[in-house]
Amino acid sequence: MVMIPSKSFCLKACEVVKSTGAFIQKELGQVNIGAIEVKALNSLVSYVDKEAEKQLVAGLSGLLPEAAFLTEEETIEQKAGDYRWIIDPLDGTTNFLHQIPFFCVSVGLEHKGELIMGIIYEPNRQECFYGWKDGGAYLNGTPISVSSNNQLSESLIATGFPYYDYGPMKAYLGALEHFMQSTRGIRRLGAAALDLAYVACGRFDAFYEYSLNPWDVAAGAFLVKEAGGRVTDFSGGDDFLHGKQLIATSDGIAEAFQKVIKEAFYPFK
């Protein structure tokens, strides 16, 4: 029996994810505007998202039949279990529908509530980021690690702009203003999972966003940790998977970065 998590099991899951990514890439530019649904304010979905999710569920069920699923498009019953796959079949749907090449497949695996594996596949560049518990993080077979930079002033930051929950907007803009003036630059590319993969491999020094869902962050947060980085919620705690807010940083700037977020969002604590 294949041990879970393990390199061999992870690589088998990677093949399932990459196959789904190839399907998504084939559909790029083929979606008719009439086939696009609006799930909620500024939240789009098409048959590509749903079919990709079905492919992932089928393939991953074959690898681990006893596992439950938590998925964005809910094409399968959502329930808990000792093992549970957490899936975003197409993170960056709006980018995909506008033919902007920054989107990915994101698959995390948890065991009794603990993340133990993460896979993110970006089909445009055929980049597969993956890792398993205590096994490190990899990009197409090569080990990766977070940035070694320890100066916030020399950091490149990624974020996601609020697109439906505007309540904390003032705090968000306060942090954004600070980072605009005190870092090397800010990028908003539109796919949180891929932003996190870029933190894991050192392309970004940090990422932060609120109003996130478990399927947006499960795989990427796991990879950042396996790559030597830190992941917290905005208060510095560990409720980043279900708490709808996340900070992911290289170790060297973690405290300075978290201080800015805390002062913006929790000024009186």
H or E stretch covering 39: strand 37-40
Q: End of a domain among 144, 173, 202? A: 144
253 and 206, same structural domain?
Answer: yes
For strand 104-111 and strand 114-122, is the pairing parallel, antiparallel, or unpaired? antiparallel
Give the model's pLDDT for residue 163. 73
Structure confidence by residue, pLDDT tens digits, 84-105: 999 999 999 999 999 999 999 9
Q: What domain count does the chain have?
A: 2
DSSP per position, 106-129: EEEEEETTEEEEEEEEETTTTEEE
Question: Is 256 inside any structural domain?
Answer: yes
Structure confidence by residue, pLDDT tens digits, 25-49: 999 988 877 677 776 554 567 888 9
Give the model's pLDDT for residue 1. 46
196 and 164, same structural domain?
Answer: yes
* Residue ranges for the chain with pLDDT beneath 50: 1, 42
CATH number, domain with residue 230: 3.40.190.80
Contacts with 259 (C-beta within 8 Å, 6 or more apart), sequence order: none
Question: Is 67 inside any structural domain?
Answer: yes
Domain extent for 11: 7-144
Q: End of a domain among 144, 173, 191? A: 144
Going by C-alpha positions, the residue among 85, 80, 81 that lies closest to residue 105 is 85
Question: Is 1 inside any structural domain?
Answer: no
Q: 3-class DSSP state for residue 69?
A: strand
Cα dist from 18 to 75, 98, 219, 220, whole Å: 20, 22, 15, 16
139 and 33, same structural domain?
Answer: yes
Give the model's pLDDT for residue 127. 98
Cα dist from 253 to 109, 181, 205, whole Å: 28, 16, 8
127 and 11, same structural domain?
Answer: yes
Please write down the long-range contacts of 176-185, taking CB distance under 8 Å and 24 or more positions apart: 178/260, 178/264, 179/260, 182/152, 182/153, 183/152, 183/153, 183/154, 183/155, 183/156, 183/157, 184/153, 184/154, 184/155, 184/156, 184/157, 185/156, 185/157
Question: Is 66 inside any structural domain?
Answer: yes
State the Cα–Cα distance between residues 192 and 49, nearest whole angstrom.
Answer: 16
123 and 220, same structural domain?
Answer: no
Look up residue 269 and give its two tokens: 């604590």
State the Cα–Cα distance between residues 87 and 76, nearest whole angstrom.
Answer: 11
State the Cα–Cα distance between residues 90 and 150, nearest whole angstrom.
Answer: 33
Question: Is 189 inside any structural domain?
Answer: yes
121 and 166, same structural domain?
Answer: no
Cα dist from 73 to 56, 78, 87, 93, 229, whole Å: 12, 10, 9, 12, 29
For the entire predicted model, the pTM comes to: 0.94
Q: Before 5, cis peptide (omega within 30)?
A: yes
Give the model's pLDDT for residue 200. 98
Q: End of a domain among 144, 161, 188? A: 144
CATH number, domain with residue 139: 3.30.540.10
177 and 90, same structural domain?
Answer: no
Going by C-alpha positions, the residue among 201, 155, 160 that lies closest to residue 179 is 155
161 and 122, same structural domain?
Answer: no
Question: Is 84 inside any structural domain?
Answer: yes
38 and 159, same structural domain?
Answer: no
Give the model's pLDDT for residue 39. 66
Look up residue 216 and give its two tokens: 């947006």
